[in-house]
Structures are given as structure tokens and as C-alpha cells.
Amino acid sequence: MRFFHALTQSSGTYFLLSSKPMSIMSMSRAAHGDASQGTADLSTKSVHAGEALPKPGNSIADPIFCSSTYSFENSQALLDFLEQDASRDEYGRYGHPGQRTVEHKLAALDGGEAAVLFASGMAAIVGLLMAKLSAGDEVVFFDECYHRSREFCTAHLARFGVLTHQVATGDYEAMAAAITPRTKLLISESPTNPHLSCIDVERFAELGRQHGIETLIDATLATPVNLQPLAAGVDYVCHSATKYLGGHNDLLAGVVIGGEEKLDPIRQLRGVMGPVNAPQNVYLLNRGLKTFSLRMERHNQNGQRIADFLADHPRVEHVYYPGLKSHPTHAVARRTMRGYGGLVTFLVRDADWRQTAAVVDAVKIPRIAPSLGGVESLIEQPLLMSYYHVSPEQRRVIGINDNMIRLSCGIENTEDLIADLAQALGG
């Protein structure tokens, strides 16, 4: 496990990752020079990592810096900045103080050296791909993935001369066979959306190392609580921070985490393209992260309990949840994950799409909406919400059934959610 240490910058003292241990008590005293020993877990990191002390006005909460540009005291201060002798902000497109705080916090949670924050999850993965790939390069990715990620790879990257190969999720031999001398990146989600297949991240990372190719895991559905891809040797981990990290369905954000040197071209491109997140959004993300570890405990609990309930219900044909022994990747999930999250996908037995929609309409607590990972439970029928304009043949290829329901379990009382599902399913 890694721990915290204090790193002094111009704006204060930042709590970052280090191999030097520090206790919860000593973290609060770090700015005063106390070097007590101890450990810090994810819950402590989610509250304190990246926080600068003292904060302006000696406030507990981080302030919101609503400024598009930042002034210099004199020309020498500008020269110091240009010569990299000073760490500070210059122009809002390159970032702001609140962004740096959250980036340090997110890097700490995933065990990475650094993080690059974006305005959305898609902006993060697009930023990584655009920074790392050039015309003539190739990428290989497992085919169970967020449909917009698939669309960007297959439709938009192709316009810039980048070739993409899709292989069956979890088929490492097929991925190895798809690698050519031009392959620059291997991509996967874990768990995948919406079938919740889990990847053997160590095997995935080793495949990249064997061929000298960088690897990326989208761990949005897992979160740093349940999965640590960087510790398994993966080069990059990305999240849609809109989901569990923010946790309140009130912001958009995305992040790429990894080694400082590897992330530098991504950060540089972000400064050119401009998909930096707004100070207000970053404030909300930092506030959401304070309770992140606690919320994930309830998401994990609700997801498992509801998956167990649905698996035993006579009106349910099949449940996709890695915490169930019936899931094809359950063994991998048990070996690689600490918990299985709050997303549960299931099929309604002997139902067409209208009968399935009736079940969605009958629930009282979950809201019908896209996305996941917030404190409110959300429910959707993938056929209607995300794949309505996709042909039936294409839907069958990617496993989107007409009788499929995706439920994002929030943090409501478990028994209330189960009772609500029971009345909606009937039978």
C-alpha cells in the first residue's frame, strides 16, 4: 500500500502519495511539521488527498476559483513561471487551483503518479486517444464497451487513418492475434457495460508488456474501491467521474490516471483542445469524493443483494452481475475485485420490449434515466435508452436484448428497493 506525504507548493501544502507512511492524525498535523507514522486507506484519501493547507480564509471546504485568467505581480514573476521555477496558474484553459486538488486526489485513489481531469468521461478517453495515436496506428479493444467509445474508435478515428480491431471480450488469444507492428494501444473496460464482464487485468497488462504496447482500462463501473488496474501493471486507467466518483448526478467529468511522464502529452493536448472542467463542477466533484468510499460500501451492498433477489425471481430469465456465481467471469471478479458495484443488468422472462418497458414503468423508486453511480437509483431499458436507432441485427451481435433492463442501484434502503422491484415484476 502507498501512503501520504507533504509536498509544499506555492499555494500551500498538498497531501500526495508516497512510500512514506503517515497516520490519519499526522496528516492533519503535516503542515506543522509532525512526522508521525501510520497508514491511510481509501476513505482517508478520498477526504484529504490533494488538499492544500492552509486554505484561503482558513476555510475547511475548498474555495471555487471563478477566474478565466490569473495575474502576475511583475515581469519577473512571469519569467519565473515561463522558466518553470514557479508552480501556479496562468490561464483557465490550462487548469485552475481546484482542478489540481482534485487531480491529486484522484491520482491518490487509483495509486497513480498523476491524473488529467477532463470535462466528461468521453472527453477523457478521446483526449487520451488523440494524444497517443497518429495516422497509420492501430488499436485493439474488447468489444463489450460503452457504445460511444465504440463509435469514436470505429467511426471517427478511422477518418484520421487509425485502424481499430474489435475482438471478443476476454479472448486474450484473439487480442494477441490482432496485434500488428502498428498496434499502439490495447483497450478494455472492466467491468463492461452492460454485461458486467470482468477482465483479468494482470493478464491484460502482461499482454501489452510482451508486445511493447500500452494498455488502457476504463474502470468507471469498478471505481478505485473495487479495482486497481495500475497496481496490476496497466498503463492508464480512466473513469467517467460523472458516475460513482461524483456520485450525485449533478456534474460531468472524466479523468485519465497513470505515470506523470506518460500523461504529459495528454495534458498538453488538453491545453490546446480546451476540454478543461469548470471550477463549479470541480468543486462538486471534490465534495462528492469526500463521501466516495462510504457510498461505494452501500452501492456494493445494494448491488449484491438485489442481484441475489433477481436471480431467484421467477419472472427473471437471467442476471448479469459479477458477484453471482452464475456470471461467466465470477472467478476473475473474485480474484481481482474488492466488490462488484451497484449496476445490475437482467432479462425479463418471456417478455417482448413492450412488456419489459412495463416493468420499468412500474417501479416507484428508481428514476428512468441514463447514467449510473449516483445516490439515486436509476433504471433503463437499453433498447430504448441507448440502442433505439440500432438495427435488431446489430443489437443481437452486441448482446442487447429487447427484454433487457439495466438497474443502477443507488444508496437507498436495500429492502425498499427489493420490495419495489418485487411489485414491479409481480408473479
Instruction: List, by residue number, the catalytic residues.
Output: 93, 146, 218, 243
- Evaluate whether 420 touches 367 at the Cβ level (below 8 Å): no
CA distance 71 to 250: 31
CA distance 229 to 225: 11
- Evaluate whether 300 touches 340 at the Cβ level (below 8 Å): yes
Residue 145 CB partners (closer than 8 Å, separation 6+): 187, 188, 189, 192, 193, 218
CA distance 139 to 153: 8
